[in-house]
Amino acid sequence: MRWIAERVQRHRESLMVLGSFAASLLVGGGIFALYGVHPLEAYGHMLSGALGDTDALVATLSRMVPIALATLSIAVAFNGGMWNIGAEGQLYLGAFAAAWVGLTLPGLPGMMLLPLGLAAGIGAAALWAWIPGILSLKRGLNVVVLTIMLNSLAIYFTSALATGPYAGTRVSSGATDRIPEAMRFMHLSNFSTLNTGIFVALVAVACMALVMLCTVPGYDWRICRLNTRFARYGGVDVVRRQIWAMLLSGAFAGLAGSLLVMGDHYRFRVGISPGYTWTGMILAMMVAYHPLGGMAAAFVYAVMSSGALEMELMTDVPVEVVEIILGTAVLFVTAGFALSNRWANRLRED
């Protein structure tokens, strides 16, 4: 008994997330039932549509890459107490910067173009995150407001470039021409845009997770989020830590954008991200900014959204149900944390 209680206490956050997710699946089941579809049948189609064969699995993984990077981008910032709501704009700017390298320096060899494209994408996005970061840390401006405003600026600025000076000549409007072949990440199958960029993403995610979970900066970030004043009192260089959280968050958004250009589409286009970082924000919050939890959540999301197509085909339940399930899960997690805090306060004898 005691052993179980201790385990529950130690893993209470993960248990809460898993429980909330299970509960939201039940709610989803209820919705399926309303459509007159057996919940298990609907979920069955979802699973087979996402993981049923190699092609399905590849499509799911290709969906997962930008979502996973966006989730980590948000997780890094939020976990460090920097509310970076501007990852979407950073992603767009990074994506365009990568495309711009390809369009302006087409003659360079791949050995140089590839790293240059990545560096430009990551660098531009990180810089775009640095601006609100430094303004908030040094000048006390509100980081949420700043980052939201910078979103629109970046998205419309890149749109203007892609429809104006950099508009493609061999493509319908709203996109640039293709980037040179030398800087493309090779597609791994004919049925999806999954490409070798996934390995870059994998390495980046692994490094970041290691830093967040096992190192001193990771600890400092967490404390900055929990209580900035306590961190400063304890001797943490809060400004330096938090500006790095912002830079890395921007870098991951930029990497997601660069890979979309250099791996998936081979060009920049208007609306290149259907709101990946907003989804990433939901996923990151759902797992309380845990990097590995975030990756698991991104995988589950990819499975559900990619499998939803087959589900819709077979059962007439619209794909949007996936969003409902996800939203419910976030709701449950939030409620769960609030409740557990309340119980903790009750038990406290003062």
Partner 1 sequence: MTYLRMERVTKRFGSFVAVKDVSLEIAPGTIHAVVGENGAGKSTLMKCLYGMHAPEKGAFYLADRQLLIRSPRDAMKYGIGMVHQHFMLVPSASVAENVVLGDEPRRGWGFDGSRASREIRELSRKFGLEVEPDMPVHALPVGLQQRVEILKLLYRKASILIFDEPTAVLSPGEVDSLFAILRGFRKEGKTVIFIAHNLEEVLAISDTLSVLRQGELIDTVPRGEVTPKELAQMMVGREIALPVLEEASSGDGKTLLSLNNLSVRDDWGGWAVQDLSLDLQEGEIFGIAGVTGNGQSELEEALWGLRQIEKGSLLLDGEPLQSANPRERRKKGMAYIPEDRLKTGLAPLGDLEDNLLMGYQYAPDFSRRGFLRRGAVRSFAARILQRYGVAAASPRVQSGTLSGGNMQRLVMGRELEQNPKVLMVSQPTRGVDVGGISAIHDHLLRLRSQGRGILLISSSLEEILALSDRVGVMVKGRFVAVLSRREISKERIGALMLQGRGESAEGGTSHAMDR
CB of 10 to partner 1, least distance (A): 5
Site for partner 1 in 25-84 (CB under 8 A): none
Q: For residues 298 and 62, is the Cβ–Cβ distance under 8 A?
A: no
Pairwise CA distance, residues 276 & 72, whole Å: 11
Pick between residue 3 and residue 104 the one whose CB is nearest to partner 1.
3
Query: ∠155-320-48 over CA atoms, to 5°?
Result: 110
Interface with partner 1 includes 338 (CB under 8 A)? no
Task: List the structure tokens of 245.
Answer: 């959280």
What Å distances lie between residue 166 and 96, 122, 128, 162, 258, CA to CA? 10, 20, 21, 5, 17
Residue with tokens 């500006």: 243
- Site mask for partner 1 (CB under 8 A), range 237-276, x = bound: x---------------------------------------
Site for partner 1 in 165-224 (CB under 8 A): 214-220, 222-223
Number of residues that bind partner 1 (CB under 8 A): 30
- Site mask for partner 1 (CB under 8 A), range 295-314, x = bound: --------------------
CB of 241 to partner 1, least distance (A): 12
Pick between residue 17 and residue 326 the one whose CB is nearest to partner 1.
17
Pick between residue 221 and residue 299 the one whose CB is nearest to partner 1.
221
Pairwise CA distance, residues 58 & 193, whole Å: 9
Interface with partner 1 includes 342 (CB under 8 A)? no
Pick between residue 38 and residue 342 the one whose CB is nearest to partner 1.
342
Element (H, E) at 52: none
CB of 288 to partner 1, least distance (A): 11
Interface with partner 1 includes 344 (CB under 8 A)? yes
> CA 182 from chain center: how many Å?
27
Interface with partner 1 includes 7 (CB under 8 A)? no
Pick from 107, 140, 235, 274: which binds partner 1 (CB under 8 A)?
235
Pairwise CA distance, residues 218 & 214, whole Å: 7
Interface with partner 1 includes 231 (CB under 8 A)? yes
Determine the interface stretch with partner 1 among 108-116, 121-129, 179-187, 233-241 (rule: CB under 8 A).
233-241
CB of 216 to partner 1, least distance (A): 5
CB of 250 to partner 1, least distance (A): 22
CB of 154 to partner 1, least distance (A): 33
Pairwise CA distance, residues 253 & 93, whole Å: 9
Neighbours of 11 (CB within 10 A): 12
Residue 89, SS3 per DSSP? helix
Sign of CA dihedral 221, 222, 228, 230: negative
CB of 307 to partner 1, least distance (A): 36
What Å distances lie between residue 198 and 38, 62, 67, 175, 300, CA to CA? 36, 8, 12, 23, 17
Pick between residue 171 and residue 226 the one whose CB is nearest to partner 1.
226
Pairwise CA distance, residues 201 & 206, whole Å: 9
What Å distances lie between residue 132 and 141, 145, 151, 159, 160, CA to CA? 8, 9, 11, 21, 22
Interface with partner 1 includes 292 (CB under 8 A)? no
Interface with partner 1 includes 334 (CB under 8 A)? no
Interface with partner 1 includes 3 (CB under 8 A)? no
Pick from 19, 30, 234, 275: which binds partner 1 (CB under 8 A)?
234
What Å distances lie between residue 15 and 20, 25, 76, 151, 346, CA to CA? 8, 15, 22, 35, 21
Name the site residues for partner 1 (rule: CB under 8 A): 6, 9-10, 214-220, 222-223, 226-227, 229-237, 344-350
